[in-house]
């Protein structure tokens, strides 16, 4: 049976994630309101602007509802800005001050840690569990500054963790949805199916 996976559709690379998840065997829905979290096995929090997503989510308390659903077993996959919204702590929280985040991933992350849009780059990464390197696209990517004991580092770039897993949570500093390689989405489909 195909797991039901939502893509938070407030802003960001929604269509690209939906396409990769569909190709990986998931039944995909876009999610804009708390009621749309019902009956999901997993949720992707996409890349984009973490501040924009937090602000758009605030009126309906979307981040709080996602946090509650996660406590009830919802698997989560955060990419780029999604990692920021999942992080336990943001090292430069000023832009997000007053706006709830999801939290739950025991890391400290810094927004735009690799620099501006002009500092974007791609890099082949060796990722735990994947036989061949995955080409990773970094665009205004967050830097993970601290990793808690319960978080597994799946890949590093320049000595910095960029792919992480903690139980039913998966997170990357990069954008796996911007390539034709679906292997991380397949991994998340399996995590959601097991959840």
Residues 6+ apart with CB under 8 A from 47: 12, 13, 79, 80, 81, 82, 139, 175, 177
**Residue carrying the six token digits 């829905």:** 29
Between CA 81 and CA 142 the distance in angstroms is 7
131 catalytically annotated: no
Secondary structure percentages of the chain, helix, strand, coil, to 5: 30, 30, 35
Chain centroid, CA 160 distance in Å: 17
- Active-site choice (17, 49, 65, 177): 177
- Active-site choice (17, 65, 175, 185): 175
E strand or H helix that includes residue 14 = helix 14-23
- Active-site choice (80, 131, 132, 146): 80
Question: What are the structure tokens assigned to 71, written together?
Answer: 């406590």
27 catalytically annotated: no
Q: Is 24 in contact with 60 (CB distance < 8 Å)?
A: no
Angle between helices 183-194 and 14-23 in degrees, nearest 10: 70
Between CA 195 and CA 192 the distance in angstroms is 5
80 catalytically annotated: yes
Question: Which residues does the annotation mark as catalytic?
Answer: 80, 175, 177
């Amino acid at each position: 049976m195909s797991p039901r996976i939502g893509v938070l559709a407030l802003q960001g690379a929604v269509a690209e994630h939906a396409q990769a998840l569909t190709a990986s065997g998931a039944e995909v829905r876009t999610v804009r309101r708390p009621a749309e979290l019902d009956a999901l096995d997993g949720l992707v929090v996409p890349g984009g602007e973490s501040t924009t997503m937090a602000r758009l989510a605030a009126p309906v308390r979307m981040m709080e509802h996602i946090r509650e659903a996660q406590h009830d077993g919802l698997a989560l996959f955060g990419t780029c800005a999604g990692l920021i919204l999942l992080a336990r702590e943001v090292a430069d929280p000023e832009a997000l001050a007053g706006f709830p985040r999801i939290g739950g991933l025991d890391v400290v992350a810094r927004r735009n840690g690799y620099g501006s849009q002009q500092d974007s780059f791609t890099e082949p990464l060796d990722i735990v569990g994947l036989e061949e390197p995955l080409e990773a696209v970094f665009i205004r990517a967050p830097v993970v500054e601290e990793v808690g004991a319960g978080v597994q580092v799946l890949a590093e770039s320049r000595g910095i963790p960029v792919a992480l897993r903690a139980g039913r949570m998966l997170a990357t500093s990069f954008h796996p949805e911007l390539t034709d390689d679906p292997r991380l989405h397949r991994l998340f489909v399996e995590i959601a199916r097991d959840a």
